[in-house]
Amino acid sequence: EKYQKWLAKILQNNEKSLKLLDSIEKLGCKLPNNFFQLQKCVPDKKMSGGFSVYTGEQEGKYNPAVILCTDRKIDRTTFENTVVHELVHAYDQCRIKLDWKSCLHHACTEIRASSLSGECSFYEELSRGNFAMSAGHQKCVKRRAKLSVKMNPNCSEITEDAVNAAFTNC
């Protein structure tokens, strides 16, 4: 119930979320009614959410979803950043039809999502014990993008190379 309330407020008040949803709509991508899904997540993965392109019984059926983990102990700011992060993926998917098996595509959207979501703000980095004064945002974005790309079985062996190769352009 707490997460449902948080999500409702974010979707009413968070400027980044509202802008991303509006932009997705303007690009012509229709989001399903169950686009935001609150659920328990994979126990051994340290993630607060995810973006799924294909769901349902038929592999290949486009049915995007933002999954928000309800079994993690996270604060509202982290939850809000997660919503924005996953919406960046939804926007990128709508705009360029990402190939999630391409490590460069995956790295690019993770770089953008980590940079734009707020998860690499000075406050968030401080709460993680990271005190980098020089290029702190860039270091955080690379670190967070690598964590996400590493979970892709197609990219786990070349994560660092993919993120480094995509970083400047993305």
Handedness of CA 32, 94, 111, 22 (dihedral sign): negative
Task: Note if 86 is an active site residue.
Answer: yes
Instruction: Report the side by side order of strands in the sheet with 36-39.
Output: 36-39, 62-69, 49-54
Cα(98)–Cα(108) distance, integer angstroms? 10
The catalytically annotated residue of 86, 110, 119, 125 is: 86
Cα(30)–Cα(94) distance, integer angstroms? 9
Catalytic residue list: 86
